[in-house]
Structure 1
Amino acid sequence: MKYNAPEAKIREVLDACADCGSCRDFMETCLVFPELYRLYDKEQETGSAITSRELRQLTDLCNFCALCPCHDIRAKIIQAKTEFINRDGLPLNIRFLENPDQLGRICGIFPRVLNRIFQTPLTAQPLKKIMGIHEKRNIPVIPEKDFPSQVKKQGLFAVKKGKHKKAALFAGCTGRYFFPDVPKAAIDVLEYNNIEVYYPKQKCCGMPAMLEGDQQTALSDAEFNIDYLFQAVEAGYDIICSCPTCGYMLKKVLKEGAYYSDQYQKWVQADETHIKLPLFSAANSKTDSKTDSQENQFQMLSKSIYKNLLKDNGIFSALDPLKRISVADHTFDLGEYLLNLYNKNEMNMDFGHLPIQGAYYPPCHMREQNMGRPYQELMNKIPEIKIKPVESTFYCCGIAGIMGFKKDFYQASLDMGTPLMEKIKEINPEKLITDCLSCRIQFQHMLCYEVVHPIEIIKESYNRFSCMKNS
């Protein structure tokens, strides 16, 4: 059967994966591969070609959790979804949901009214139906003031001169508009460690739009962020992400392919016969063990062999590759940044006693950044705290950002998250701790535990020490 462009792209994925067993361990967590194998087996057994509709539905199952080991496979799935959207269009309700920055701004205008509407089933159901949200999905309580409004008078909106440690906070949409206590805690902890904080202009990181196949919106958001974040880097700031998805986007996704670009190859003075690639990248390894000589080491690949394979041709290739690399190489997860301070004996260790029994879940997009478990290491240094990690490569909460709100993905999101929820119930913690605020929404929906961000735990410990010192 001859397929059109989007169907052909996802068919490439199906054919590549059908005879490969690398992802069979992810069958309970990933929705794509069980369906992929089912479609392939059905085709082999019956001789009936997989339909265009089935291929389209297959792309909709990917939530870009980044757990699968083949980067090109998930990239091709997103490319196929993008081509489907370019051809068939994007429903208006999805266009609304995929922009949490815009959604948060709107919710912030009338928080009390919208809270009353969403918390009352009689009024919530018709509005959810219009928005394409599943009727059973709980909506987080909208705060009276969002994060930008709360910090407006703190002098965080201007770049400061000087050579002292400076951090530009990228707070993430969910933190900015639904859980402002998290980015506020991030600022408090950074300032407690004598880090000057700057809050640059920022939009959504672009992950939700990219995940829905809306390349135009994802590219527009990314370009806006890259421009302002690059200015911050040029002014001497490190970029700090309190949201692991935003960090994954800035450090990994936006940079993909940038080293293959003509601009980068010219910048590193590659010759006409080779592609010159760095052996070490600051965004891939933030350890302080690298030397300057290591950072300047390159591998040389023959252009005649690799020029058609190694290209900067992804969704974000239209953006300046040197800016993408610079931003990525200066972006840190907040926990990662604090642990680096600790490892250099530069972190304030005035932790007060916190007699808490907690369970810590490291989210998918944090694991993909290859930085270990920085928050877990830091929290273990707090006196009296007992943290039980919920560790497994295969655990995922299932919400997949906005996908878990959609009426056609809601049940799948619960099914995907059930193994993780059962494990947490076994631990039965006093507090459930996770870096990801989308995971928090899912945990609050499926479980009955108090859910907090690890930076809130660290802030509380600092506060306990201050109270004890002043008493």
Structure 2
Amino acid sequence: MPEGIQLKNISGNNLEQCLKCSICTAYCPVSAVEPAYPGPKHSGPDLERYRLKDNRFFDEALKMCLNCKRCEVACPSGVRIADIIQASRIKYSTHGPILRDRMLANTDFVGTMANRVAPIVNTTLGLKPVKAVLHGVMGIDKHRSFPAYSSQKFETWFKRNAAPKQDGYRKHVSYFHGCYVNYNFPQLGKDLVKIMNAAGYGVHLLEKEKCCGVALIANGLSKQARRQGEVNINSIRKSAEKGRVVLTTSSTCTFTMRDEYAHLLGIKTDDIRESLTLATRFLYRLIERGEIKLAFRKDFRMRAAYHSACHMEKMGWVVYSTELLKMIPGLELVMLDSQCCGIAGTYGFKKENYERSQQIGSGLFTQIKEVNPDCVTTDCETCKWQIEMSTGYEVKNPVSILAEALDVEETIRLNGV
């Protein structure tokens, strides 16, 4: 290429940088188990050149893509391969979401309804006749276990028990708790509040919070995802204006809001992107700079196996969670091989995807059983569901392990709270 001339993108994504090396296909977990899937290179940059000319080149086989981003992590040219695939699904797919897809994607609505009668919902979803109906009528695989719903939302607990105390701290952060913490597992949110308060930080909820929208995007409801995304970004922006960093405890929620909003939904995020971060990243950086100290119980003992969630690898943030865990004297941490668990949010719940989902995760499940840890730890809640269902091992977020091991009184003393 003559000196001074630069390659210019003619598409919305950077497909022009594709070298056609096919390393993305070699790293694709779907291609490894599904011969019918064309692979990320062909589905992404290759066919996008044709789709730009004629949308009839769109192939519904693209719905097999997990959006795990492993192709993008492997790409030597930084091509946003998965974004090309997902954007094509949004733009060209003529198959609208069915009732099952809308139910799986609308986590705020379903979660709010389920919380009101949580014991009944949890029992009912485990009954074989109910599973058979969901399988035959709704297309939700009968082998899939649902996460249990909590009788009390995290937001309710926080407003009643924690909120009145938070203004008393000198420093402050905001918390995007997400659907999982709010409707299924409030304890994770409580664990974060416990750690941050002991470190001298008050925790506040956002003015308004909606589901991050990752399930909406995956299920063909991008317009609704954009509306909800705008609510979240506006709330994060208001928090940033107050000087508060927004913490999360979900790798996928974090990744979706930091990157997918801009790439797939056209939501402006560049001004607040660095104000949104995973709690383990925030804590590690504070400790590294000497701004806080954490003390741990002398009697704490645990052997944990860490699973690198796909979106954690894409962000490059695995090191923050694992290095924090290594600070716990009584914790033996085993790093599992980098493998996709196969669930990909709502993907693995669907009857047509279930078997493929389990095949993708089979290597991971085998390794966990061979390691035989006290528990598995990961930053992704849907990875937790998949691993617990497929191996029987308990899965904990690194934040919960930190909270369990924390010597609260000594941490408060060290930080002068």
Name the TM tier (shorter chain): 0.7 to 0.9
2:242 alignment counterpart: 235
Aligned partners of 2:270 and 2:107: how far apart in 1? 26
Deviation string 1:174-206 (CA, Å, 9 cap, x unpaired) is 222112111111111111111110111211111
Mapped pair 1:357 → 2:364: no
Q: Does 1:181 align with 2:130?
A: no
Query: What is the distance in 1 between the residues matched to 2:166 and 2:265?
Result: 27
In the TM superposition, 1:115-264 aligns within 5 A as 115-127=122-134, 129-154=136-161, 156=163, 164-200=170-206, 201-256=208-263
Aligned residues with identical type, % of pairs: 25
CA distance in 2, matches of 1:158, 1:216: 38
> What's the CA shift for 1:369?
1.2
- Quick check: 1:98–1:212 contact (8 Å CA) kept in 2? yes
Aligned to 2:401: 457
Structure 2 length as normaliser, TM-score?
A: 0.83
Measured on the aligned residues, the alpha-carbon RMSD in Å equals 3.1
Corresponding residue for 2:7?
Answer: none
Q: CA deviation at 1:127?
A: 4.1
Contact 1:94/1:132, CA 8 A, preserved across alignment: no
Q: Is 2:121 aligned against 1:103?
A: no
Counterpart of 2:389, as a letter, is H
The residue number in structure 1 matching 2:362 is 418
The 1:419/1:465 distance shift into structure 2, 3 A limit, reads farther
Q: Which residue of 1 aligns with 2:276?
A: 331
Query: Partner of 1:341 in structure 2?
Result: 286
Out of 47, 63, 66, the position equivalent to 2:66 is: 63
Superposed CA deviations along residues 4-23 of structure 1, whole A, max 9, x for unmatched, are xxxxx9xx98x998953222
Partners of 1:120 and 1:456 lie apart in 2 by 30
User: For 1:330 and 1:169, how far apart are their aligned partners in 2?
Assistant: 11
Change in 2 beyond 3 A, CA 1:107/1:71: farther
Distance 1:366 1:417 in 2: 17
Cα distance between partner residues in 2 of 1:129 and 1:232: 45
SS at match of 1:138: coil
Number of aligned residue pairs: 380
Tell me if structure 1 keeps the 8 A contact 2:68–2:311.
yes
Q: Map 1:400-415 to 2 at 5 A.
A: 400-415=344-359
* 1:379 and 2:382 matched: no
Find the residue that maps to 1:153 and give its secondary structure: helix
Q: Secondary structure at the match of 1:137?
A: coil
> Is the Cα–Cα contact under 8 Å of residues 154 and 181 in structure 2 kept in the other structure?
yes
Does the Cα contact within 8 Å between 1:157 and 1:199 map onto a contact in 2?
no
DSSP 3-state at the match of 1:386: strand
**Cα gap change, 1:33/1:408 in structure 2, threshold over 3 Å: closer, same or farther?**
closer
Aligned counterparts of 1:39 and 1:379: Cα–Cα separation in 2: 37
- Give 1:257-336 correspondences, 5 Å limit: 315-317=264-266, 319=267, 321=268, 324-336=269-281
Equivalent of residue 314 in structure 2, options 347, 352, 368: 368
In structure 1, the gaps of 5 or more residues are 1-8, 41-51, 257-314
Task: Give, in whole Å, the separation in 1 of the partners of 2:172 and 2:408.
Answer: 26
Evaluate the alpha carbon distance shift between residue 325 and residue 28 of structure 1 in structure 2; reply closer, same or farther with a 3 A threshold: closer
Q: Distance in 1 between matches of 2:210 and 2:256?
A: 13
Which residues of structure 2 form unaligned runs of 5+?
1-10, 43-54, 73-77
Counterpart position of 1:267: none
- Given residue 22 of structure 1, which amino acid in structure 2 is its aligned partner? I
TM-score, structure 1 as length reference: 0.74
Residues 26 and 236 (structure 1 numbering): CA distance in 2 closer, same or farther, change over 3 Å?
same
1:73 corresponding residue in structure 2: 81
CA 372–399 in structure 1, closer or farther in 2 if over 3 Å, else same: closer
Distance 1:27 1:343 in 2: 35
Q: Secondary structure at the match of 1:122?
A: helix
Tell me which residue corresponds to 1:90. Answer: 97
Look up the SS of the partner of 2:296 in the other structure.
coil
